[in-house]
Amino acid sequence: MSIFQRLFRVGKANVNAAIDKMEDPVKMIDQVLRELDEDIEKVTAAVTSQIAVEKRFERELQEATEIVAKRDQQARQALASGNESLAREALEDKKRHADKRDALQVNYDRAKATADKLRGQLKEMKTKVTEMKTQRSSLIAQAEAAKAQERINKTMSGVGVDNLGATFTRMEEKIKQMHDQADAAYELANEGKSLDDKFEQLDKDVKHSQVDDELAALKAELEGQKS
């Protein structure tokens, strides 16, 4: 199992555990993102080390290749000068560095392939974390909506729609009862009046009506004068 797989498996376990609790979605999401950032730092360090190995093999391969070319040129120069012994010595050293070059080429190819793979995985990991950060606001909004819905459900289950309906029905009946009591009190008050009281009230009503008629006539007269 690669370091990436281990880190993502641990990260996934942390996310699942936090989701199960879901006490504070905002803190949970931010905590997951912080842990992933820390994981990326660790992975980046591992990738950097592998790239350093690749670069070392590349440098040693280049040095060995240059020595092979140099010894070949020196052997030609020595042979042209009639120094066969020196030419042989140069060719022997060329052979040693050629063997070293071939071994370094194998090591370099392997190191480069591993480094390239790790580079790609690290890039993918960073992309996923970036996407998660982009989705953070949406996830938080969804979590808050879920919490609000949960609070509503708890409230409604505690009160109950039927209970609310019954409460308003009782309130309506109480208001009707208050109206009935007021009407009854009015009737009782009128029943207590004597015949003289009733005629006195009738006279008041007539006088009030006469005043209203006189006021209306006066208004009409004034309107006529304006015309």
166 with 154, same domain: the answer is no
205 with 126, same domain: the answer is no
123 with 201, same domain: the answer is no
Range of the domain at 214: 162-226
Last residue of a domain, one of 159, 180, 211: 159
84 with 119, same domain: the answer is yes
100 with 180, same domain: the answer is no
139 with 32, same domain: the answer is yes
Query: How far is residue 97's CA from residue 93's CA, in Å, rounded to a whole number?
Result: 6
Q: Which two tokens stand for residue 56?
A: 């070392």
44 with 88, same domain: the answer is yes
Last residue of a domain, one of 159, 180, 209: 159
- The model's pLDDT over 69-103, given as tens digits with 9 standing for 90+, comes to 999 999 999 999 999 999 999 999 999 999 999 99
For residue 50, the 8-state DSSP code is H
195 with 217, same domain: the answer is yes
Pick from 109, 110, 139, 121: which is nearest to 18 by CA?
139
pTM, full prediction: 0.51
- The model's pLDDT over 106-159, given as tens digits with 9 standing for 90+, comes to 999 999 999 999 999 999 988 988 888 888 778 778 777 877 888 887 776 655
18 with 41, same domain: the answer is yes
31 with 73, same domain: the answer is yes
